Amino acid sequence: MTDSRFPVANPTASFWLTQPHALASYRSSETTPEECDIAIIGTGLAGVSTAYHILSNHKGSEPKIVLFDARQACSGATGRNGGHIKVLMPTIKKYHEKFGSDAAQQLFDFVHSQMAAIKSAQETEGIDCDLFLTRSFDCYYDPVQASEIKAFLEEQREAGAKWTQEVQWLEGPMLDKASGMKGLVAAVSVPALTLWPYKFVTALLERVVEMGAFLYTETPVEEISKPGDDGLVTLTTPRGVTKAKKIVYATNAYTSAVLPQYQSSIIPFRGQNSILVPLAKAHQSQNLTYTRNLFHTPGNADYLVPRPDGNIILGGGGGAYRKDEQDRNPQWFDSVDDATLIDPGVKKHFDGVMARCFRGWEDCEATAAMTWSGIMGATPDGIPHVGQVPDTDNQWILAGFNGGGMALIFTTARGVADMVCNGTSFEDAGIPEMFKTTAERLNVKFE
């Protein structure tokens, strides 16, 4: 495990953070409040969404909420990711194999509801965050993987799986023209949503503060005590000590810094992202409005998200620092260091993707104008930990999203808010049952 489990100082500069929000370094007061009803640790999508759902839907007097972040608001994974929501066919297949057909359908429906819920919040709050409903391609270059995905999809169609109605398989001589790409074996088209995640979350954060929440950025929670005789939990920070009736851990990769029992259950891992800025003469493919996941091999995939300004978000590059899916070397695995990049080979890979993979982009010099790293949370079973922290009465968690948090968090946070405020059971909170954090899951380790 890593020696330091807390966010590092001076993280790499992310494109999403180039327009800082007024609340980026905001603190509601010089010292933290002595007491609060609900403490939320983390101001990314998970923490802010939980606060938003609590305050938007709470009946009666509003609870006193305090949000803490070790760095600037929304400066972690939410401010560093790809900015798109979709469900991947390999993920659906994995859920089906591990949990059954009902779980696969539940996951697909849950991700689909995520898009609707985020779009609804964006419209309700009037948030300018470049949100678009679109489609996305899973792009397969490996014939074995493509064959396996095709067989699974056909099997599920024949079995009557409802989710297959939203999915289209593409192959054959017209594939390159249909996809705007070169050298694909096959592709799958699925629904997707894109947005500027930092703008969405910080706009919600602004609304949360307007509704009465207290915000303390650059205020790491260094220690959390066990509940005292009064049932309150004490949070110690450099800006004061706060006693909370309830705590929500929206800490993702950094969870073990404040919940040591998760040290082997949520491991930090590092990814790298970039923004490509093509030359003005770029001949853009007619289908470049679609997002893409490029599966070069089963264990090496990029994600690509076209921007409305003509630039392109491109992340991944695992082939530059990983041999295969089982390669958990320290360049990327069990690392919280987003102050440095993973490997020089990642940018080199990014610089060549458009010319190598897209029709008409050979001479457009679509290279990375910025590249940055970010820290995500991996779990041994590939499933997030959500719900009441085992052996506690007043503490909840939503963390360990394995790099797919944008597709899961917003409605998960709504369910957690319901549990925190209304005492709703996990089973009645509208969250996929396999996400539930349990003592048994805490005993599962990475092999």
Give me the tens of pLDDT residue by residue for the chain, a chain 447 residues long: 334 689 999 999 999 999 999 999 999 999 999 999 999 999 999 999 999 999 998 877 889 999 999 999 999 999 999 999 999 999 999 999 999 999 999 999 999 999 999 999 999 999 999 999 999 999 999 999 999 999 999 999 999 999 999 999 999 999 998 899 999 999 999 999 999 999 999 999 999 999 999 999 999 999 999 888 899 999 999 999 999 999 999 999 999 999 999 999 999 999 999 999 987 655 555 558 899 999 999 989 999 999 998 899 999 999 999 998 889 999 999 999 999 999 999 999 999 999 999 998 888 889 999 999 999 999 999 999 999 999 999 999 999 999 999 999 999 999 999 999 999 999 999 999 999 999 999 999 897
* E-state strands within 28-88: 35-41, 65-68, 84-85
CA distance 162 to 377: 31
The token duo for 163 is: 């989710």
Contact 125, 195 (CB under 8 A): no
- Residue closest to 139 by CA, chosen among 98, 72, 90, 202: 90
Per-residue model confidence as pLDDT tens digits over 138-166: 999 999 999 999 999 999 999 999 999 99
CA distance 374 to 76: 7
DSSP 3-state of 154: helix
Contact 281, 320 (CB under 8 A): no
Contact 235, 395 (CB under 8 A): no
pLDDT for 1 equals 33
Write the class of the CATH domain 132-194+268-378: alpha beta
Query: What's the half-sphere exposure (Cβ side, CA atoms, 13 Å) at 100?
Result: 4
pLDDT for 3 equals 43
pLDDT for 280 equals 63
* H-run or E-run covering 116: helix 101-125
Give domain limits for the chain.
15-80+198-266+381-443, 132-194+268-378
* Phi and psi torsions of 68, nearest 5°: -120, 145
- Residue closest to 187 by CA, chosen among 96, 291, 318, 312: 291
- What residue has token string 């905001």? 26
CA distances from 311 to 30, 365, 371 (A): 40, 12, 13
CA distance 155 to 390: 38
- What residue has token string 């899973």? 138
* Equal CATH topology for 15-80+198-266+381-443 and 132-194+268-378: no
Task: Work out the angle at residue 318's Cα, subtended by the Cα atoms of residues 164 and 401, and round it to the nearest 5 degrees.
Answer: 55
Question: Does the domain made of 15-80+198-266+381-443 have the CATH classification 3.50.50.60?
Answer: yes
Give 117-167 as a DSSP string. HHHHHHHHHT--S--EEEEEEEEE--HHHHHHHHHHHHHHHHTT-GGGGG-
pLDDT for 376 equals 98
Contact 275, 14 (CB under 8 A): no
The token duo for 294 is: 């490029």
pLDDT for 447 equals 78
Q: Which residues pair with 246 in a beta bridge?
A: 38
Please give the distance of CA 362 from its chain centroid, rounded to a whole number: 32
Contact 37, 246 (CB under 8 A): yes
CA distance 181 to 175: 8
pLDDT for 55 equals 97
Contact 101, 161 (CB under 8 A): yes
Contact 23, 206 (CB under 8 A): yes
CA distance 290 to 447: 36
Q: Which residues pair with 140 in a beta bridge?
A: 186, 295
* Phi and psi torsions of 268, nearest 5°: -70, 140
